[in-house]
Structure 1
Amino acid sequence: MSKKHLVIDPITRIEGHLRIEAVIDENNVITDAYSSSTMFRGIEEILKGRDPRDCGLLAMRICGVCTGTHYQRSIEAVEHAFGVTIPKNARLVRNLMQGGLYVHDHIVHFYHLHALDFVDITKALEADPKKAVAEAHKWAEIAKTNPWNASESVYKQVQERVTKYVKQGRLGIFGNAYWGSKAYKLTPEQNLIALSHYLDALELQRELAKALAIFGGKNPHPQSLVVGGVTCVQDIKNPSRIAEYKQIMKKAQKFTKEAYLPDVYMAGTMYADEALAGVGGGLGNFMSYGDFNLDDLPFYDSKKLFPSGVVLNKDISKVFELDQSKITEDVTHAWYEGTTNLHPYDGVTNPNYTGFGKKEDGIAYLDTKKKYSWIKSPLYDDERMEVGPLARMVIGVAKGDELISKYVTTFLKNGNLPTKVLFSTIGRTAARAIETELMADKCIEWSDELAVNVANGDLSTWTEFDFDKVAKDAKGYGMAEAPRGGLGHWVKIKDGKVENYQAVVPSTWNAAPRDYKERLGAYEASLVGTKVVNPDEPLEIIRTVHSFDPCIACAVHIVDTNGKELSVYKVDPLGASRA
């Protein structure tokens, strides 16, 4: 591998298959970058010709992580086409399911997908547990809270658990990383604190999955949403089920305030020079579709917890209202036929794989002058956009949203941080933590609101509609946010069947290749200007890419629409040694 042209394939600790190529100069500074997905999505094709009421159950299979979000967007697209408004109980249940997913997803992302970009596990074994306790109190004090599970005995037990891995000659779940890299900046005690919280978050992850299943029926792939409302009637009527959800969310709230936020302050402070320099800032253009309906109007007219809008060039003094008609997808550098920018209503998914380019020293490089990714390049009003938690926080502040501004301002004030640190890899990570605290608080409020509404006698969960009347010829969209950013599903219906279907997802916006004007996508732009300490251990590249929380299976999906057999697997549940 040439040190002038780095190839990282696959990027691990993400969902799906992602390849990053970066060009570096003699000072190891990235001068160019390319983001490529190496898997194909064709799920839109299998939705054609189907009953639109069934789309949600199939569309959620786009992803195995944010399944419920795809499910809800698809259902809402059909509700928009049919002109159906759901009852209050259904709105609250959907908010609780979606909000719970945010909390679950963000905590899992930070600790189990992203934290190891900051935390050197091997150095945690060198820490003094007593000093680690004092260190934990310091960061909790900044966050205006108590430290999570901080004691000498706890930290010693954590060290003993990981030491056993090392003595066995393996690191288990912590294997195959760049341990010892000079790009790591935390002290041994700080590494130990984060490691302890990593292990605690594994247990919390299980509890949060239970919360999602309370109203969803199961997790992943919930099954309680239908066009017109929800089907979890018995769970809504049962006070103990609502109370169970609330108790789990209170655990997540406590963990977020006492562990997650202090850990972000800790990491952010140790990497403050990068945050202040704007390393990983990227495009500077932010977009949010808005999410979480706060009243019982149709979703496209409802007041939102997260407002919609567009901010350009990091200028939070001006915010533009969102117009979904200005969304298009370009395929100039994507492995699909055509180059025309099409609105999703008219979008097509016709694969045109042209392969890689040159091959040197046994490595095949992307043909970056032509097509080099299975991800299309979305545009808003002919501009490249970043979506996600940072975009939601930026637009909330730019719009003067009282609640979002309060959470963002409090975080910055407690850490004595200027606003500009948000426009960086560290800022993107911090925005997700800020949002997690906000969402946990709101989910507890919504669970109380649902309990009160049901106790007052409102048991309505579904709005009746005449399918034969509304489904002849129609079109609709479901646009809101997923944990990773703006997610839209568009459907066109003819004679009661799906004529066309397109989904433009967060990682389509962020992980996209260049467009027809050769403008970089969000991942690509965020890497340019980054200095890599050791090109053989490009931790800085992985850290910035992980800050977006890639979900490539959402952006693309493997499907053979001709029904061709792809492969056959034989699974022996007893194991070969016992067969």
Structure 2
Amino acid sequence: MLMKKLVIDPVTRIEGHLRAEVEIDDNGIVQEAYVSGQLFRGIEIILQNRDPRDAGLLAGRICGVCTNSHFRASIQAVENAYNIVVPKNAQIIRDLMSMALFIQDHVVHFYQLHLLDFVDVTKALVANAQETTIEAHKYCDKPFRNSTSHYESTLEKLKNFVDAGRLGPFNSNFFGHSEYKLSAEQNLILLSHYFEALTFQTKISKAIAIFGGKTPHPQSIVVGGVTSVMDMLNPQRLNDFLFEIKEANDFINRAYIPDMKLLASAYKDEIKSKSGKTLGNYLCVGGYEINESMKLFSSGVIYDGNFLDIKEFDSSKITEEVQRAWYSDDEKQEPFYTDINEDGTLRTVKNDDKYSWIKAPRYGNKTMETGPIARILISYSKNDTAINSFVDNFLKDSSLSLEDLNCTVGRNICRAIESQYVCEYIFKLMSNLIQNIKYDDTNTYTNYNFADMKKDYKGSNFLEVPRGVLLHSLNIENEKIKNYQVIAPTTWNATPKNSDGLRGAYEEALVGIKISDTSKPIEVLKVLHSFDPCLACAVHIIDTKGKNLSNYKIH
């Protein structure tokens, strides 16, 4: 059978530079996939020979989206190297910032980056505003801003965009494609929430900035604690944070969760067929203490979708290889780019062809999927967190099972459930903080003297962040960073095949889907967007001997 090759370069509505190449048979079924990170980044080189106490501010620049995540993971890797224990209140402040980021990231991902894979703007233009209010009540008792006047205002806004030719994010999409399943009124509901999510983003960013100083690129996390002491001790600042979270909670419960129920209903056949499924290998390191006996997420590993046998996480099983990534195959892993074919396609035919800047992490020699779906499946199956009731309620309302979540729409459902769950526990953490301020020592710094510490250390930190498992590790020699390494969630999910031939989560999810029109491959985009790709986080390099690899001059 002669295979057709389809290339999408670049994949848009993501962070970074992603290329997808799929091989399609005569029936339009994807038989093979190659997903490639197209931009080289050497952020670890910048960190070499720096004071380890400055690592967080530099590592936070790895990405303009995941700034808080890299900032915190870097600081905690340094603290782990020096065995510094952070005071309770500082830990809570860090968790509050992280949890607010979870909510922001998930909402922005669906509404601003992924929504247009499901929503046809042209069909929404013919919706009836009054019927839309009735439709919204099918998914929520008190739908968000559910009035005829509100939907009429949204329709007018959309029509003004179209009439003026200023389509902006609605331009260059595949509207009218058979893959769109929603009615005119369902489209209008989701588009109205698209605009509301823009306001949501500004408000939740304010919540993060209250304790972070600013966002993106917060400033308040330092080795040993946090610097936002006055904000923590100021009742008005605490109230400001809670106010923003209450508004976020309202949007999540009355818009985001109902919208996922709407998708689950409209795409039920696609969910049941597990379109966009992966191998069922999931990895989660857990974390975020709620009280002495409970954490927000459980750690564990699932193999082959076996939820009844959760293995304990063991960091020693992690390896990272480069046989099919654009690095030399020696210990130093120097950048080694190979040209593409004459027709512009990647050299992917041979098993030793290199085709991505992303390295190939493995856990126990297997590719893994990380992120909200991994956290929910592992935490639910271990039944030692409070997430089960949130999952059960959604599955019951949508007539779905836990196994149904391994698909494209399922990843979106998991993000929404996680947002609801995280938002609820932000209030519990705030209560813990207020109690600590009343009765405990509010000093947010540990007493350590950097000059008195040993000169040589090693440290690492695993952290669950919105897209999945993040690892920062470093070697310190003579009080300076010698080597630095990052494995980000997208590194796990977008891994190339490597010499083992195993597909990563992105590639595995693409195999088996049917593309109805190769000139409008929305099916491919929908699968990839469901992972919320962040390529700036995924592409990194380290020289194990600590020497310069290359010098670059920017004009």
* TM-score > 0.5 by shorter chain: yes
* Per-residue deviation, 1:122: 1.2
Alpha-carbon displacement from aligned partner over 1:111-162 (angstroms, at most 9, x marks no partner): 001111111111100111111100001111xxxx411101111111101011
Is 1:241 paired with 2:237? yes
Partner residue of 1:334 out of 325, 331, 341: 325
* Per-residue deviation, 1:368: 5.0
Task: For 1:209-224, list aligned pairs within 5 A.
Answer: 209-224=205-220
Task: For 1:276-295, list aligned pairs within 5 A.
Answer: 276-294=272-290
Unaligned runs of 5+ in 1: 297-301, 341-347, 568-579
Do 2:34 and 2:348's aligned partners in 1 also have CA atoms closer than 8 Å?
no
Name the residue aligned to 1:344: none
TM-score, normalised via structure 2 length = 0.96
Alpha-carbon displacement from aligned partner over 1:186-211 (angstroms, at most 9, x marks no partner): 00000000000000010111001111
Name the residue aligned to 2:336: 352
Do 2:290 and 2:429's aligned partners in 1 also have CA atoms closer than 8 Å?
no
Name the residue aligned to 1:343: none
CA 388–57 in structure 1, closer or farther in 2 if over 3 Å, else same: same
- Partner Cα distance (2:284, 2:550) in 1: 36
The code of the aligned residue for 2:175 comes to: W
Partner residue of 1:399 out of 362, 365, 382: 382
Partner residue of 2:539 out of 556, 568, 571: 556
- Partner Cα distance (2:81, 2:425) in 1: 29
Name the residue aligned to 1:570: none
* Per-residue deviation, 1:542: 0.6
Name the residue aligned to 2:545: none
- Partner Cα distance (2:242, 2:312) in 1: 34
The code of the aligned residue for 2:243 comes to: Q
Do 2:111 and 2:197's aligned partners in 1 also have CA atoms closer than 8 Å?
yes
- Partner Cα distance (1:388, 1:134) in 2: 34
- Partner Cα distance (2:88, 2:408) in 1: 38
Is 1:443 paired with 2:426? yes
Stretch moving more, 161-170 or 428-437: 161-170
CA 236–37 in structure 1, closer or farther in 2 if over 3 Å, else same: same
- Partner Cα distance (2:493, 2:194) in 1: 26
Name the residue aligned to 1:470: 453
- Partner Cα distance (2:466, 2:10) in 1: 23
SS at match of 1:287: strand
The code of the aligned residue for 1:214 comes to: I
The code of the aligned residue for 2:24 comes to: I
- Partner Cα distance (2:347, 2:434) in 1: 55
SS at match of 1:206: helix
- Partner Cα distance (1:8, 1:408) in 2: 35
Name the residue aligned to 2:408: 425
Alpha-carbon displacement from aligned partner over 1:431-467 (angstroms, at most 9, x marks no partner): 0000000111111221222123213353111112132
Is 1:511 paired with 2:494? yes
- Partner Cα distance (2:158, 2:330) in 1: 52
The code of the aligned residue for 2:185 comes to: E
* Per-residue deviation, 1:563: 5.0
The code of the aligned residue for 2:338 comes to: T
- Partner Cα distance (1:21, 1:401) in 2: 41
Is 1:489 paired with 2:445? no
Alpha-carbon displacement from aligned partner over 1:246-283 (angstroms, at most 9, x marks no partner): 11011111100000011111112111111111111112
Is 1:178 paired with 2:174? yes
* Per-residue deviation, 1:558: 10
Do 2:346 and 2:355's aligned partners in 1 also have CA atoms closer than 8 Å?
no
- Partner Cα distance (2:156, 2:226) in 1: 47
SS at match of 2:137: helix
Name the residue aligned to 1:39: 39
The code of the aligned residue for 2:187 comes to: N
* Per-residue deviation, 1:170: 3.5
- Partner Cα distance (2:307, 2:500) in 1: 26
- Partner Cα distance (1:332, 1:562) in 2: 21
The code of the aligned residue for 1:264 comes to: M
Is 1:520 paired with 2:503? yes
Is 1:565 paired with 2:541? no
Name the residue aligned to 1:324: 315
* Per-residue deviation, 1:424: 0.7
Alpha-carbon displacement from aligned partner over 1:472-527 (angstroms, at most 9, x marks no partner): 12111110111000000011112211121100000000111112211111100000
Name the residue aligned to 1:365: 346
Name the residue aligned to 1:572: none
Task: For 1:249-268, list aligned pairs within 5 A.
Answer: 249-268=245-264
TM-score, normalised via structure 1 length = 0.92
Question: Pairwise CA RMSD of aligned residues?
Answer: 1.8
The total of aligned residue pairs comes to: 547
Unaligned runs of 5+ in 2: 543-547
Name the residue aligned to 1:191: 187
Name the residue aligned to 2:12: 12
- Partner Cα distance (1:80, 1:17) in 2: 33
* Per-residue deviation, 1:303: 5.6
* Per-residue deviation, 1:540: 0.9
- Partner Cα distance (1:350, 1:124) in 2: 51
- Partner Cα distance (2:478, 2:225) in 1: 23
* Per-residue deviation, 1:561: 6.8
Do 1:91 and 1:293's aligned partners in 2 also have CA atoms closer than 8 Å?
no
